[in-house]
Chains A and B, each alone.
Chain A
Amino acid sequence: DTEVTQTPKHLVMGMTNKKSLKCEQHMGHRAMYWYKQKAKKPPELMFVYSYEKLSINESVPSRFSPECPNSSLLNLHLHALQPEDSALYLCASSLGQGAGNQPQHFGDGTRLSIL
């Protein structure tokens, strides 16, 4: 079992739907991340939150909207997604944002399918 919990594990949605992915950690980590992973590819960074503030947005389309309500929670709001957005969405956390010398701890992801 991972210490980063993601819900739901699977999500199927239409292109006009609005849904949210949720991530929770109780390790006292102050940096949280969203990644997208396509099949047979490495994870690709989408967003970084540091101390509940968005610090990095890797030019992600606005149909993905992150939110960090508090230091333990991270959401990813989805709206008007495209079929190519189907992927595994991974959440991770680390002690602080400075990636040097700090491993990130990952959840098991949400498998998203866009119809």
Chain B
Amino acid sequence: GESVGLHLPTLSVQEGDNSIINCAYSNSASDYFIWYKQESGKGPQFIIDIRSNMDKRQGQRVTVLLNKTVKHLSLQIAATQPGDSAVYFCAETRDDKIIFGKGTRLHILP
């Protein structure tokens, strides 16, 4: 069935550089999207969300972009730090449920 997915299973970024994690979704009726960060041994941690009536939303060091035309979601992390090392999941809401994408593991290079 339809699901939220990510383009890359792993991403390696130099410390201090910006990271961009991408996600493609297939359900054009989805109206709410969330990015979660999951560190080893921990549960998913809410990072940022965006509603379908918005194109961009900024948080502290993070920005989420939503392109509804091509059904694409991205998470930008500014000045990546070692503590950003984790698996990042995008998620969409559908039928009162949150559906998670496959996840991207972010590696920070020294």
Binding site for B on A (CB under 8 A): 2, 4, 6, 40-45, 48, 56, 90, 92, 97-109
In the complex the two chains form, is B96's CB within 8 Å of A97's CB? yes
- Of A40, A44, A99, A106, which contacts B45 at CB under 8 A? A106
> Dominant SS at the B interface?
strand
In the complex the two chains form, is B32's CB within 8 Å of A99's CB? yes
Docked Cα-Cα span, A56 to B34, in Å, equals 21
Docked Cα-Cα span, A4 to B45, in Å, equals 11
In the complex the two chains form, is A42's CB within 8 Å of B96's CB? no
B76 within 8 A of A: no
Binding site for A on B (CB under 8 A): 31-32, 34, 36, 41-46, 49, 51, 89, 93-94, 96-98, 100-103
In the complex the two chains form, is B43's CB within 8 Å of A108's CB? yes
In the complex the two chains form, is A104's CB within 8 Å of B96's CB? no
Contacts of A43 in B (CB 8 A): 44, 89, 100
A32 to chain B, nearest CB (A): 13
In the complex the two chains form, is A42's CB within 8 Å of B100's CB? yes
Q: Which residue of A lies closest to B46 (CB)?
A: A103
A-B pairs, 5 with minimum CB distance: A42-B100, A106-B43, A99-B93, A103-B46, A108-B43
Q: Which residue of A lies closest to B93 (CB)?
A: A99
